[in-house]
Amino acid sequence: MNDEYFELTITTDEKYTDFISDIVCGISDDGVEVDKEKIIVRSENDLSSLNEQLKEILSDTELKNITFKLEKKENSDWVRAYKNSVEPIDAGEFYIHPSWYESLDNKINIKIDPALAFGSGHHATTFSCLNMISKYLNPEFSVIDVGCGSGILALAAKKKGAKSVDLCDTDLQAVQSAKENFALNNETFDNIWEGSAGKTEKQYDFVLANIIADVLVMISNDLKKITKDDGLIVLSGILDKKSDLVLDAFKDLQLLDKILKDEWMTLVYKKGR
């Protein structure tokens, strides 16, 4: 554990805290604490980029009275306190739990330790993706998790029986976190790389992309290109108010399903021949 950590505090009106915390969780997998008028993000990695990204996103809204404070603090073992606050969750066929909880016999169990600072399944986007994996993934599918973060979605696909699983993320720490989580679960992946989906020449039966709406639009052609004919694409990280952008970018595909949970939309598409 590092001697210091970074803490970003966003102060706002109480009526906006849930909305802003959802945005934070949609673009960051760091530990988040929500109080009545504060959202606090903590990480051992510099949060300057997140700070600027949030300012830019929120400047496009009508929300007022928002302040940002970024500090470097001495590490007082906040990770342990965060770990103690994390509860397991059920999502479709899956039971996501920290390693200090017992597995369930009637579920597909996935261990994710929140101390790794990446998503543990509690956010609405991850939760909805897990439900879509439960519903649509066939055991013989080849899978890629684009923007893999903790690797939780790729792990779910692997544990459900996917014949091959690849992962990628533009964040090197995410790649390392995913590797550690596969090891924690005694599972293996086929390939993992730092970078985007455009780096692969392969095509897949099942493409997962839980990112944010603007990025999904930007990489929409790459996602379609790496999807086999009759293959499925699961898109998430989409704020409801930005869903039209994504729907328009993928309008040439068949929309099979969608979930709206806590202002976050998840979409499932099928690519035609």
> 18, 34 in Cβ contact below 8 A?
yes
Contact indicator for 233, 209 with CB cutoff of 8 Å: yes
Both 75 and 150 in one domain: the answer is no
Residues 149 and 258 in one domain: yes
**pLDDT tens-digit map of 142-153:** 999 999 988 999
- Reported in sequence order, the residue ranges of 23-130 that DSSP labels E, i.e. its strands, are 31-34, 38-43, 67-74, 89-91, 94-97, 108-111
Q: Which of 79, 100, 125 is the last residue of a domain?
A: 79
Q: Is 90 exceeded by the pLDDT of residue 267?
A: yes
Are 140 and 73 within one domain?
no
Which amino acid is residue 84, in one-letter code?
Answer: N
Alpha-carbon Rg of the chain, whole angstroms?
18
Residue 86 lies in a domain: no
Whole-structure pTM value: 0.73
pLDDT digits (tens, 9 = 90+) for 85-103: 667 888 889 998 888 888 9
Q: Is 232 helix (H, G, I), strand (E, B) or coil?
A: strand
Tell whether 66 and 157 lie within a shared domain: no
Strand partners, 41: 8, 32
Clarify whether residues 183 and 248 are in a common domain: yes
- Residue 205's pLDDT band (boundaries 50, 70, 90)? very high
Does residue 235 share a domain with residue 152? yes
178 and 246, same domain (yes or no): yes
Residues 263 and 143 in one domain: yes
Q: How far apart are alpha carbons 232 and 133 in whole angstroms?
A: 10
| Rounded distance between C-alpha atoms, residue 250 and residue 258, angstroms | 13
Helix (H, G, I), strand (E, B) or coil at 41: strand
User: How far is it, in rounded angstroms, from Cα 131 to Cα 267?
Assistant: 11
Domain membership of residue 23 (yes or no) is yes
Do residues 266 and 164 share a domain? yes
Q: What percent of the chain has pLDDT over 90?
A: 48
Q: Is residue 113 part of a domain?
A: no
More confident residue, 88 or 169: 169
Nearest Cα neighbor of 152 from 115, 191, 180 is 180
58-66, Cβ contacts within 8 angstroms, sequence gap of 24 or more: 58/20, 58/23, 63/12, 63/16, 63/19, 63/20, 64/13, 65/12, 65/13, 66/10, 66/11, 66/12, 66/16, 66/20
Q: What is d(CA 41, CA 30) in angstroms, rounded to the nearest whole number?
A: 7
The CATH number assigned to the domain holding 57 equals 3.30.70.270
Domain that includes residue 73, residue range? 4-79
Last residue of a domain, one of 41, 59, 79: 79
pLDDT in tens, 112-145: 876 433 444 567 788 899 999 999 999 999 999 9
Determine, yes or no, domain membership for 66: yes
Q: Residue 259's beta-bridge partner residues?
A: 266
63 and 164 housed in the same domain: no
149 and 247 together in one domain: yes
Confirm whether 60 is domain-assigned: yes
In this prediction, residue 77 has a pLDDT band, given cuts at 50, 70 and 90, of low
Residue 225, domain CATH: 3.40.50.150
Q: What is the dihedral of CA 162, 164, 169, 175, to 10 degrees?
A: 100
Report how many domains make up the chain: 2
pLDDT, averaged across the chain: 87
**Do the beta carbons of residue 208 and residue 251 sit within 8 Å?**
no
Residue owning tokens 């009637």? 106
Other CB atoms within 10 Å distance of the CB of residue 4: 9
Residues 257 and 144 reside in one and the same domain? yes
